[in-house]
């Protein structure tokens, strides 16, 4: 394995018109966690699902944190660039276009960091329960890249002002952001699945 390799699962596309998805799990998940979600929200898509390379008490994550909601930002930057290199390698290996990231919690946070640090790695993103990943982000050019941000009104981990700040940050960088606050906590709901499926369908139709 190369330095940029991740343990991962890849499932080829069943439909040529569906965008490939980069599935990024939450803390304690693995490369199998979001495969079912990926198939629900975009049944024909190729699925690329890596396992986070950082362990916190034995639980895989995509970057280190210092406390709940307090990130090791140097590690965020390094790990996001590693993930970007992995995506580039996987695109060449599997012959796929730039994927739409679908990230939950820690996975959504690394996806947001990847958008800001290496925008060309992704065609867009579905950010489920995401927070601002960097307190001093670079000036990214997201060029109307589509982003769906789904937050939970009763989320005990992500403050409402933080998710609103992330939506504003990505919008200011040029992304086309749809931000919805759902009557939910940190865990995903059926509304997340429905909204993500409809959004990806629109993104695919617009790209066709």
pLDDT in tens, 91-135: 999 999 999 999 999 999 999 999 999 999 999 999 999 999 999
110 versus 4: the higher-pLDDT residue is 110
Q: Categorise residue 10: left if φ over 0, alpha if ψ from -120 to 50, beta otherwise.
A: beta
Whether 62 shows a pLDDT value over 70: the answer reads yes
CB under 8 Å to 187, separation ≥6 — which residues? 152
Cβ atoms of 62 and 23 within 8 Å: the answer is no
Catalytic residue among 33, 155, 163, 192: 155
Whether 208 shows a pLDDT value over 80: the answer reads no
Confidence of residue 1 (pLDDT cuts 50, 70, 90): very low
Q: Is 155 a catalytic residue?
A: yes
- Where in 96-191 does DSSP place strands (E)? 100-104, 124-128, 146-152, 176-182
Confidence of residue 168 (pLDDT cuts 50, 70, 90): very high
Whether 4 shows a pLDDT value over 70: the answer reads no
Whether 68 shows a pLDDT value over 90: the answer reads no
Whether 198 shows a pLDDT value over 70: the answer reads yes
Catalytic residue among 5, 18, 171, 186: 186
Q: Which of 2-11, 136-145, 181-190 has the highest mean pLDDT?
A: 181-190
Question: What backbone phi and psi angles, to 5 degrees, belong to 156?
Answer: -80, -10
**Residue bearing tokens 């996806």:** 111
Q: Is 186 a catalytic residue?
A: yes
* Cα separation, 192 vs 149, whole angstroms: 10
Catalytic residue among 42, 49, 105, 163: 105
- Mean pLDDT computed over 150-154: 97
> Which residue from 143, 139, 144, 72 is spatially nearest to 110, judged by alpha carbons?
72
The structure's pTM equals 0.96
Report the greatest alpha carbon distance in the chain: 44
């Amino acid at each position: 394995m190369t330095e940029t390799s991740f343990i991962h699962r890849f499932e080829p596309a069943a439909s040529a018109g569906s965008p490939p998805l980069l599935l990024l799990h939450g803390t304690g998940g693995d490369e199998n966690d979001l495969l079912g979600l990926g198939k629900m929200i975009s049944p024909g898509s190729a699925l690329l699902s890596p396992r986070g390379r950082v362990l916190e008490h034995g639980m895989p994550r995509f970057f280190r944190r210092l406390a709940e909601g307090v990130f090791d930002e140097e590690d965020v930057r390094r790990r996001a660039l590693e993930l970007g290199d992995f995506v580039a390698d996987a695109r060449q290996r599997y012959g796929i276009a730039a994927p739409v990231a679908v990230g939950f919690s820690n996975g959504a946070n690394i996806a947001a960091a990847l958008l800001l640090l290496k925008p060309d790695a992704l065609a867009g993103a579905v950010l489920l329960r995401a927070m601002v990943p960097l307190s001093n982000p670079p000036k990214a050019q997201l060029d109307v890249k589509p982003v769906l941000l789904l937050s939970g009104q009763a989320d005990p981990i992500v403050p409402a002002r933080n998710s609103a700040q992330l939506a504003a940050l990505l919008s200011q960088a040029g992304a086309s952001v749809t931000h919805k606050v759902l009557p939910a906590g940190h865990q995903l709901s059926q509304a997340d699945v429905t909204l993500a499926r409809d959004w990806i369908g629109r993104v695919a139709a617009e790209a066709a």
